[in-house]
Amino acid sequence: MNTTFTLSLLAFLLIIQPANGRPKPRANAAATADAVAAKNVISELGRIFKVGPGMMVFNTGPSNNEFDDEIICAERSIGKSYCTEIQNYAEATQLDKIDAEQFELFKSYFQDDLIIKPQNVASRMQVEAEKPSCNSKSRIIYPKGALSKEAKWLLVVQHEQHKQGVLVEECENVVKSCSNDQNLPLGISAKCIQRFTFRKLVVLVNGVMKEEMVKLPNFCECILCSDVAT
């Protein structure tokens, strides 16, 4: 199919207006304006689209979506701020092709967080017994993606020989009630919520390593909240 004809057809479909009943004669000025609009639309379509056999139209320009939209994982789909597995992570990062000097510059980051046990277990248990608590789980994760302070998803550097192990604490049930107090005011309840912190990790931006603050789970807290919808 002729390219010019196809673009003209697309332009026509974009500018036509639905008509009710018998069409009325159009003024010369209106017809001229439509012709100019059609010419402009054809020019714009020719710049944006490429037309192939069978009238298949596809965009040949750069995507308007940010790269963070391509970072898809199970954790992100349920509202978490990190990804431990990302499809095509190796292809997206090309870490094996990065110079060893870059890894050396950030070598202090490539280690696991230490899990420090409390010095006085008895006193900690007493404090925790005096206040409502939430069930939580602490573990080391190796995030391959994470949210930045600007709420953009970034690729975190996790190489086979250079890994960043991060200690996180997550609520086991964020909707569970965390208080048995029967004296709470009407419409007020105590629920577990996830708290976060921002910490610096090495990420990959345009093939170059850099430090960025990313959002990670920090602890689980019992708070009072209103049950009345606002």
CA gap 33, 25 in Å, rounded:
15
pLDDT score of 68: 58
- From residue 200, give the alpha-carbon distance in Å to each of 32, 74, 108, 119, 156: 60, 23, 12, 27, 11
- From residue 100, give the alpha-carbon distance in Å to each of 6, 62, 112: 52, 31, 20
| pLDDT tens track for 2-43 | 444 444 544 444 444 444 444 444 445 444 455 544 445 444
pLDDT score of 184: 75
Percentage of the chain exceeding pLDDT 90? 43
Minimum mean pLDDT range among 92-106, 116-130, 159-173: 116-130
Cα distance between the two ends of the chain? 58
Domain with CATH 2.10.90.10 in the chain: 67-226
When the pLDDT of each residue in the chain is averaged and rounded to a whole number, the result is 73
pTM for this predicted structure: 0.63
CA gap 31, 41 in Å, rounded:
15
Superfamily of domain 67-226: Cystine-knot cytokines (2.10.90.10)
